[in-house]
Chain A
Amino acid sequence: MSGRLELQGLRKSFGGVVATDDVTLGFEPGTLSAIIGPNGAGKTTLFHLITGKLPVTAGRVLLDGAEITGLDRREIVRRGIGRAFQVANLFPSFSVQDSLAAALMAHAGRTAGLFSTFPPPDVQRQAEEVMELCGLTHLSRTEARHLSHGDQKLLDIALALALNPKVLLLDEPTAGMGPDERWRMIERVYRLWEARKLTLIFIEHDMDIVFKIAQSVRVLRYGAVLAEGTPEEVRRNPAVVEAYLGAEHAL
């Protein structure tokens, strides 16, 4: 089974600000992990480094043992790392099904054709599969800009998923949602993970969600790893309790 992601001594500084400080973490194939940490802890930056959106200052990123540090971000997508964004990053005038079809075709390098009609039937079928999996089928013809906030986040995840990644990074999939919507979203994410058996890493602020579904939790603070382990271990870790969770979550 593939999809092992390893970060070795990863470091990123913006001028004087150290956003990622010597992060060494391993994610086993097919696991479901959460990354938590207060605002500004460097969670999103870590995803930028893994996906090649930002160059690393030092350290290495390995996917299934092969180094991918410094590769072009398209190449990193092609190697199998998918990513959804903290703020949904979509094609506003495309319907849901066309967004997915367009993503699939761009990824497969099939957008040069002038004489065929977009989308071709085989791509259309793939797009339908992804919509089915993400529960977007009933919205297939709705333009992305007319979707609700939650469905936009879902489409963003679907776009990443369409490219069949081995590792999927979700940056706050439930950001900006009400309590009910959050749980619906996270159930979807959980089912996606079960169905696709991929290595899923998500950033989340809601501790109830994290402790309920994650197999392992990594805690970041000031860009460095403060703690890691199972939800139980992290919940009991005194440093975490003191630094981050506060009184309401302590034991």
Chain B
Amino acid sequence: MGFGRDSAIALAVLLVFILLEFTGLRSAGLVDFAIRFATFGLLALSLNLLIGSAGLVSFGHAAYFGMGAYSFGLLMQTGAWSVPAAILAAVAMTALLALVIGALCVRLSEIYFAFLTLAFQMLLHSLILSWIGLTGGDQGLMGGIPKPPFLGVDLARQDHLAAFSLFCLVASAVALRQILRSPFGAALRMLRDNPDRAAFLGLSVFRYRLAAFVIAGSFAGLAGVLMSLYVSGAFPSFAFWTTSGEAIFMIMLGGVSVFLGPLVGTAIFLMLNDWITAVTEHHGLFLGIILLIIVLGLRKGLLDFAVEHWRARRGNQP
């Protein structure tokens, strides 16, 4: 029921975009924005499974973004992989990494969890920098990534890549939403609300949190794949703490408690970023100030605020 409706909405969104894109209305700007929106939107959405639903604030989510990008890039550069197979393999490898790191992190209490996830991310980042033979070090994965067409999709074309990225985003959003609606999702929320009582009722805190960590890491890996397709390479900055910070920033802008909040935040973040970069070189400073205003002014994300406001108004009417 809910799943069917979500799928229908997702399909409609995708069709509208493809119609826009392929019937002459397209502009290079729109296509480019769509790819970045899908990539970072997916990253933010996957992180919000941890932050919003499981109550696990990870500071190191970009590790899985970087892992997805590098795994995919390296597999494609061997020339032996088709795009879909390499995507599946890259996501699987990212899931494995999340499983190992998660197993070490999810037992810890909040602040230690946050810092240990960050520490593992920095470890991966230094590994990328120092393993020059494999990763190209601080130059990044150079030489481009071959993108052999599959099923009529040619990802070397920007318009195809935009539609494909949006497809990945929309399909992932439908899947993530189903996860939240499922009994598993309810268990995550119980653990977020009251881990003690949840454990008392028979939930294994460790197993459920680890599962959420792996799922979120896998979707971040897929976002990394899209990023690597977009730039035709992979760079150490993908796995740097600033990328994790940006994802948290997007979630805070849009809101943690509404499912689509992170996507709204991503759109605002990207537009602000483009606009601010165009007018000043101190864009970090300006973004920081805007975030401060939103966090201190509204004390929640924009969509959180809007939904609460709307509920309150509806509640007031007799």
Q: B187 within 8 Å of A by Cβ? A: yes
Within 8 A of A (CB), among B162-203: 178-179, 181-187, 189-190, 192-194, 196-203
Q: B29 within 8 Å of A by Cβ? A: no
Q: B312 within 8 Å of A by Cβ? A: no
Q: B279 within 8 Å of A by Cβ? A: no
B201 with A103: CB separation less than 8 A: yes
Q: B2 within 8 Å of A by Cβ? A: yes
With A74-B200, A113-B182, A115-B178 given, is the CB distance from A93 to B193 under 8 Å?
yes
Q: Which of B178, B185, B197, B198 has the most CB of A within 10 A?
A: B197
**Chain A residue contacts of B189, Cβ below 8 A:** 91, 93-94, 102
Q: B1 within 8 Å of A by Cβ? A: yes
**Chain B residue contacts of A102, Cβ below 8 A:** 186-187, 189-190, 201
Q: A245 within 8 Å of B by Cβ? A: no
**Chain B residue contacts of A106, Cβ below 8 A:** 187, 190, 198, 201-203
Q: A17 within 8 Å of B by Cβ? A: no
B202 with A78: CB separation less than 8 A: yes
B193 with A105: CB separation less than 8 A: no
Q: B22 within 8 Å of A by Cβ? A: no
Q: B206 within 8 Å of A by Cβ? A: no
Distance in Å: Cβ of A94 to nearest Cβ of chain B: 7
**Chain B residue contacts of A118, Cβ below 8 A:** 181-183, 185-186
Please report the C-alpha to C-alpha distance between residue A246 and residue B185 in the assembled complex, in whole angstroms: 53
A91 with B197: CB separation less than 8 A: yes
Please report the C-alpha to C-alpha distance between residue A50 and residue B183 in the assembled complex, in whole angstroms: 30
Distance in Å: Cβ of A65 to nearest Cβ of chain B: 24
B2 with A91: CB separation less than 8 A: no
Please report the C-alpha to C-alpha distance between residue A116 and residue B178 in the assembled complex, in whole angstroms: 8
Q: A16 within 8 Å of B by Cβ? A: no
**Chain A residue contacts of B193, Cβ below 8 A:** 90-94
Name the residue of chain B whose CB is nearest to the CB of A92: B193
Please report the C-alpha to C-alpha distance between residue A109 and residue B189 in the assembled complex, in whole angstroms: 16
Please report the C-alpha to C-alpha distance between residue A94 and residue B201 in the assembled complex, in whole angstroms: 15
**Chain A residue contacts of B187, Cβ below 8 A:** 102, 105-106, 111-112
**Chain B residue contacts of A92, Cβ below 8 A:** 193-194
**Chain B residue contacts of A114, Cβ below 8 A:** 178-179, 182, 184
Given contacts A93-B193, A109-B202, list 9 more A-B pairs with CB under 8 A.
Answer: A74-B202, A91-B198, A93-B189, A107-B202, A112-B187, A113-B183, A113-B184, A117-B1, A117-B2
Residues of B bordering A, CB below 8 Å: 1-3, 178-179, 181-187, 189-190, 192-194, 196-203, 208
A-B contact pairs, 30 of them (CB 8 A): A74-B200, A74-B201, A77-B201, A89-B196, A89-B197, A90-B194, A90-B197, A91-B193, A91-B194, A91-B197, A92-B194, A93-B193, A101-B186, A102-B187, A103-B201, A105-B186, A106-B190, A106-B198, A106-B201, A106-B202, A107-B201, A112-B187, A113-B182, A113-B184, A114-B178, A116-B183, A117-B181, A118-B181, A118-B183, A159-B197
